[in-house]
């Protein structure tokens, strides 16, 4: 009763090994081609996922380009400072409640999409992403996993000058430039995973390891985040939640993404994103290093110096 849902050039497909099966075709039109609609019928999706051996594959993953498995979520939430080591490297206190911001849903992009950078201070953040299946309000922590359709890998790309160009910082704009939300490569159901609470997460830039941790280090875990958010907002089918990034982001060492670099982000069991970084024209504040940003940099440098 497990499934891996992919977006193959805009059409919903189930994945098994290296092959994919077009959802509308194998369901004889019972499902449409829309990946968002598939999320509304998870038990039927699982049933089909269990019978893939009965069908001829529609094609091989190697021959197609995957889009984001959740192309049009209604909302996209993200949690900041949700790993102890990242809060420490950022010189920030551990938040008493999840530090939530939104990424505009228009930033969502695919697992191999280019990242278009509009300043020299664009940063990576490898993250575990949860996708809501069954909608809900006031979801109890103990029930929260039942509202999760599945998990995928995400990159919470951040333009640091824009993020810190106002006080308090404007996380939503700094992290919502077009292409700043690659997710995928597929949506993996919880029952496809050995232990979805404990998975290695890793990020490297053109072969250099930058982040490595385990998602069991989250300060606020997925059930807590879902319970907390759903006191405030109704969570909808397809809503996307970025859960935070571990230590090792570029801002700490001044290692920002550069034109032509390949950003590789993996979570064991969920797969790998491979995104090329492309420097495009500056945004209007690209050359301005805001005060709040230089203070953050100075604090990080001081801390790094003190530890040596």
Strands 76-80 and 99-102: antiparallel
CB of 156 to Zn ion, least distance (A): 3
Q: Which is nearer to Zn ion, 165 or 245 (CB)?
A: 245
Q: How many Cα atoms are found within 13 Å in the side-chain-facing hemisphere of 298? A: 7
Q: 274: part of which helix (H) or strand (E)?
A: strand 271-279
Q: Which is nearer to Zn ion, 66 or 100 (CB)?
A: 100
Evaluate whether 180 touches 307 at the Cβ level (below 8 Å): no
Query: What count of other Cβ atoms lies within 10 Å of the Cβ of residue 91?
Result: 14
3-state SS, residue 208: strand
Residues 6 or more apart in contact with residue 276 via CB below 8 angstroms:
114, 115, 260, 261, 262, 263
CB of 167 to Zn ion, least distance (A): 19
Q: Which of 262, 223, 257 is nearest to 243 (CA)?
A: 223
CB of 127 to Zn ion, least distance (A): 6
Residue nearest to Zn ion (CB): 156
Q: Which residues bind Zn ion (CB under 5 A)?
A: 125, 156, 245
Q: Which is nearer to Zn ion, 93 or 194 (CB)?
A: 93
Q: Which is nearer to Zn ion, 227 or 245 (CB)?
A: 245
CB of 86 to Zn ion, least distance (A): 9
Q: Which is nearer to Zn ion, 24 or 125 (CB)?
A: 125
């Amino acid at each position: 009763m497990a499934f891996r849902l992919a977006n193959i050039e805009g059409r919903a497909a189930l994945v098994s090994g290296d092959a994919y099966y077009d959802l509308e075709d194998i369901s004889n039109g019972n499902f449409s081609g829309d990946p968002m609609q598939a999320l509304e019928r998870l038990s039927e999706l699982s049933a089909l996922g269990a019978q893939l051996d009965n069908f001829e594959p529609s094609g091989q993953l190697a021959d197609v380009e995957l889009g984001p498995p959740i192309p049009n979520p209604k909302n996209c939430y993200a949690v900041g400072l949700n790993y102890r080591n990242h809060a420490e490297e950022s010189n920030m206190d551990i938040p008493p409640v999840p530090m939530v911001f939104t990424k505009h849903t228009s930033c969502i992009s695919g697992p191999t999409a280019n990242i278009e950078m509009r300043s020299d201070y664009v940063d990576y953040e490898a993250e575990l992403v949860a996708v809501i299946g069954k909608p809900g309000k006031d979801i109890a922590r103990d029930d929260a996993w039942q509202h999760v359709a599945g998990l995928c890998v995400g990159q919470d790309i951040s333009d640091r000058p824009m993020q810190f160009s106002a006080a308090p910082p404007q996380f939503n704009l700094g992290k919502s430039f077009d292409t700043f939300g690659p997710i995928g490569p597929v949506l993996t159901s919880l029952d496809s995973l050995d232990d979805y609470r404990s998975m290695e997460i890793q990020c490297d830039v053109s072969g250099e390891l930058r982040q490595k941790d385990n998602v069991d280090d989250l300060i606020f875990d997925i059930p807590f985040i879902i319970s907390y958010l759903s006191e405030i907002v109704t969570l909808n089918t397809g809503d996307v939640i970025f859960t935070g990034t571990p230590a090792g982001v570029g801002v700490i060492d001044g290692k920002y993404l550069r034109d032509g670099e390949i950003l590789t982000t993996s979570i064991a069991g969920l797969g790998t994103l491979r995104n090329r970084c492309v420097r495009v024209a500056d945004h209007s504040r690209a050359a301005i290093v805001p005060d709040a940003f230089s203070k953050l940099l100075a604090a990080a440098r001081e801390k790094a110096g003190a530890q040596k």
